[in-house]
């Protein structure tokens, strides 16, 4: 047993972060060295109810209590301490979505998550009115769509927030939101470091013209910045979080943040000219900008870091699913040959072949579209592999092509930032399962982005750890200390990472592949138009 950690727990020298992800709620307790000392989790899934993706309020509370209870049990087992004190707490959750409450604090309609694609008309109208890209998943698009639909609950709205903001309100009584999470509710004015006042006025005028007397400035939670205190744990909040009643009230809470912000913190990507790329079923990149963009681009979401710097976010719907499917096919072949197919070795060997390939993938072409792709305007998923008789068809080129296409749609959005807007990027931190195989994924991303790409050991810690770091920043911040300096000089000062710089031949090869990829989108569209799925078009 580490007596220093035990003493820190007893004295409340810890920070707690709890994040509500789309499939898991995770709680992480860190010590004064920012290392995880205990954790807990709760698995959950969204449900489609009356046409909306949602999570039940009762399960939100159950998940919160279960994750904390598991963490508390681990503290007891490892350190023989009943957890009753925590130095600071922070909550984070999936960004965007819609939670609307009346003046009594009652939820007016079931929580509508970011996943709902039901706000197209509102998003389009607001984007045109604001001359600012409003994606369908943003909270303001959900509210305005409810106005357009003339939903019965609209006149009764007293407060609107995100899931993270709701949990924070529940446990503190404070209607607060971190600026990063706020930037997925409504556009942020960088100079004002608050909701854009001109757009707030425009929104009120738009809704007034439709017969509603909404005052948006009174409905939204107050914006806070990283390092600020945004309330304390109330007696009722302590009892709600810890049903056993051991947890003491009065613990300070930092502003609630969104999962994008906690991801930036967990990857040390909050300084201007840095960014991170997260790879999974989908892929997104977030680049911290020095200046606002000169135009509105539907491919780019404008959000902020937890300390208010503008961030350009490019999100592609498809990334690793098709690669995983092909690796599964190779596994089947190996097993049919009587060969034990270790998953890690399969990925390692197949990814390694990509390094032996022609720079452009040998003239092969692939679209790993398991679902529609917003950036390229393809509405349905049709995974596709195609080649000409002249293509150099071998395993190395096959694997390189599939790795290239995993980042191709993302590159289209990133090229807007780097080529049209001349955004400077010093480095990108990559995280996700694809990078478990050393070097290969990094080289591909470095080629696609033409910037150095790093992978750090802490990248796997996740958003709950990032939220705990934000809580620790509030607790331990020196006067006027900036978040990026705190991360560089304290949290990540001894963290080692492997940096791979772009190879000129790889960069040129990726550009050649992209010419083929863009030209071939008509083939992918034809597959959508003519390939029948399960007997249906």
For 215-259, the pLDDT digits (tens) are: 999 999 999 999 999 999 999 999 999 999 999 999 999 999 999
Q: Are strands 310-316 and 300-304 parallel, antiparallel or unpaired?
A: antiparallel
Task: Report the SS3 class of residue 141.
Answer: helix
Compute φ and ψ for 496, nearest 5 degrees. -95, 145
Topology annotation, domain 268-456+500-532: Nucleotidyltransferase; domain 5 (3.30.420)
pLDDT for 120 beyond 50:
yes
Averaged over 182-210, what is the pLDDT? 96
CA 116/CA 516 separation, integer angstroms: 33
Asked if residues 457 and 469 have their Cβ atoms less than 8 Å apart, the reply is no
CB 373 within 8 A of CB 528: no
Pair 23, 43: CB distance under 8 Å:
yes
β-partners of residue 26 are: 19, 41
> What pLDDT shows up at residue 534?
63
Distances (CA, A) of 82 to 12, 74, 406: 12, 10, 47
The answer on pLDDT for 498 being more than 90 is no
Q: How many Cβ atoms from other residues are within 10 Å of residue 423's Cβ? A: 19
- List, in order, residues 6 or more apart from 514 with CB less than 8 Å away: 408, 411, 412
Which pLDDT score, from 0 to 100, does residue 403 have? Answer: 97
Q: For residues 197 and 220, give the distance between their C-alpha atoms in angstroms, rounded to a whole number.
A: 12
Average pLDDT, rounded, for the chain: 94
Lowest mean pLDDT segment, chosen from 61-70, 100-109, 181-190, 494-503: 494-503
- Which of 39-48, 177-186, 261-270 is most confident? 177-186
Q: Which tops the pLDDT comparison, 291 or 202?
A: 202
Q: Are strands 257-258 and 88-93 parallel, antiparallel or unpaired?
A: parallel
Q: Exposed, middle or buried, 235 (CB in 10 Å: 0-12/13-18/19+)?
A: exposed
Q: Residue 112: its pLDDT value, please?
A: 96
Stated length of the chain? 537
Segment among 287-291, 332-336, 491-495 with least mean pLDDT = 491-495
- For residue 459, pLDDT over 80 is answered with no
Which pLDDT does position 431 carry in this prediction?
83
The whole-angstrom separation of Cα 404 and Cα 385 is 13
Q: Please check whether the two domains, 3-77+85-258 and 268-456+500-532, share a CATH topology.
A: yes
Query: Which burial class, exposed, middle or buried, applies to 349 when counting CB atoms under 10 A from its CB (0-12, 13-18, 19+)?
Result: middle
Instruction: Give the per-residue pLDDT at 536.
Output: 47
- The answer to which of 174-178, 182-186, 425-429 has the lowest mean pLDDT is 425-429
Could you give the percent of the chain with pLDDT greater than 70?
98
> 377: left (phi > 0), else alpha (psi -120 to 50), else beta?
left
Question: Could you give the C-alpha distances from 20 to 88, 183, 389, in angstroms and in order?
Answer: 18, 18, 50
pLDDT given for residue 456 in this prediction: 78
Superfamily classification of domain 3-77+85-258: ATPase, nucleotide binding domain (3.30.420.40)
- Per-residue pLDDT, 458: 62
| Whether pLDDT at 333 is above 60 | yes
Question: Residue 535: pLDDT band by 50, 70, 90 thresholds?
Answer: very low
3-state helix/strand/coil string of 68-136: HHHHHHHHHHHHCCCCCCCCEEEEEECCCCEEEECCCCCECCCCECCCCCCCHHHHHHHHHHHCCCCCC
Phi, psi of 163 (to 5 degrees): -65, -45
Q: What are the residue ranges spanned by the domains of the chain? A: 3-77+85-258, 268-456+500-532
The pLDDT tens digits for 399-441 are 999 999 999 999 999 999 999 999 999 989 988 778 888 899 9
CA distance 219 to 259: 22
Interval 84-111 mean pLDDT: 97
348-387 pLDDT, tens digit each: 999 999 999 999 999 999 999 988 898 998 988 999 999 9
Rounded CA-CA distance 502/442 in Å is 9
pLDDT tens digit sequence for 28-82: 999 999 999 999 999 999 998 998 999 999 999 999 999 999 999 999 999 999 9
Q: Which residues contact 119 (CB under 8 A, 6 or more apart)?
A: 136, 137, 141, 142, 144, 145
Percent of the chain with pLDDT over 90: 84
Query: Are the C-beta atoms of 435 and 455 separated by less than 8 Å?
Result: yes
By DSSP bridging, strand 159-161 and strand 36-43 are unpaired
What pLDDT is recorded for position 537?
A: 44
């Amino acid at each position: 047993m580490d007596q220093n950690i035990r003493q820190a727990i007893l004295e409340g020298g810890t920070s707690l972060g709890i994040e509500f992800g789309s499939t898991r709620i995770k709680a992480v307790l860190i010590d004064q060295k920012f290392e995880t000392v205990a954790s807990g989790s709760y698995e959950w899934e969204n449900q489609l109810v009356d046409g909306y993706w949602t999570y039940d309020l009762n399960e939100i509370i159950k998940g919160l209590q279960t994750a904390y209870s598991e963490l508390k049990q681990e503290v007891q087992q490892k350190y023989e301490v009943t957890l009753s004190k925590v130095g600071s707490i922070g909550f984070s959750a999936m960004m965007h979505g819609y939670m609307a409450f009346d003046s009594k604090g009652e939820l007016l309609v079931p929580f509508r998550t970011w996943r709902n694609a039901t706000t197209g008309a509102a998003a389009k109208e607001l984007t045109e009115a604001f001359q600012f890209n409003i994606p369908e998943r943003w909270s303001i698009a959900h509210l305005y769509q409810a106005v357009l639909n003339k939903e019965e609950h609209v006149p009764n709205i007293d407060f609107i927030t995100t899931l993270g903001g709701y949990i924070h309100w529940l446990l503190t009584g404070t209607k607060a939101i971190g600026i990063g999470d706020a930037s997925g509710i409504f556009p942020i004015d960088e100079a004002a470091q608050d909701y854009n006042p001109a757009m707030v006025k425009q929104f009120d005028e738009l809704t007034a013209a439709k017969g509603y007397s909404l005052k948006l400035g009174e409905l939204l939670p107050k914006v806070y910045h990283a390092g600020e205190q945004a309330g304390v744990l109330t007696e009722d909040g302590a009892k709600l979080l810890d049903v056993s009643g051991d947890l003491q009230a009065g613990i300070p809470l930092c502003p609630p943040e969104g999962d994008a912000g906690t991801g930036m913190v967990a990857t040390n990507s909050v300084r201007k000219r840095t960014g991170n790329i997260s790879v999974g079923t989908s892929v997104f990149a977030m680049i911290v900008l020095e200046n606002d963009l000169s135009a509105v681009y539907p491919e780019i979401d404008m959000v902020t870091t937890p300390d208010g710097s503008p961030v350009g976010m490019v999100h592609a719907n498809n990334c690793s699913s098709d690669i995983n499917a092909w690796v599964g096919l190779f596994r089947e072949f190996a097993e049919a040959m009587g060969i034990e197919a270790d998953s890690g070795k399969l990925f390692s060997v197949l990814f390694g072949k990509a390094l032996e390939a022609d720079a452009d993938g040998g003239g092969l072409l692939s679209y790993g579209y398991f679902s529609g792709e917003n950036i390229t305007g393809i509405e349905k998923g049709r995974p596709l592999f195609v080649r000409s008789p002249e293509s150099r068809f071998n395993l190395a080129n096959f694997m390189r092509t599939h790795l290239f296409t995993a980042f191709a749609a993302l590159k289209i959005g990133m090229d807007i930032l780097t080529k049209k807007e001349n955004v400077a990027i010093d480095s990108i931190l990559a995280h996700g399962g694809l990078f478990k195989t050393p070097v290969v994924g990094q080289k591909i991303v470095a080629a696609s982005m033409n910037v150095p790409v790093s992978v750090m050991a802490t990248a796997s810690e996740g958003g709950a750890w990032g939220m705990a770091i934000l809580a620790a920043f509030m607790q331990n911040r020196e006067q006027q200390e900036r978040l990026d300096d705190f991360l560089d000089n304290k949290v990540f000062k001894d963290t080692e990472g492997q940096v791979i710089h772009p190879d000129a031949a790889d960069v040129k090869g990726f550009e050649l592949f992209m010419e083929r990829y863009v030209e071939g989108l008509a083939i992918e569209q034809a597959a959508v138009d003519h390939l029948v799925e399960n007997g249906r078009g």
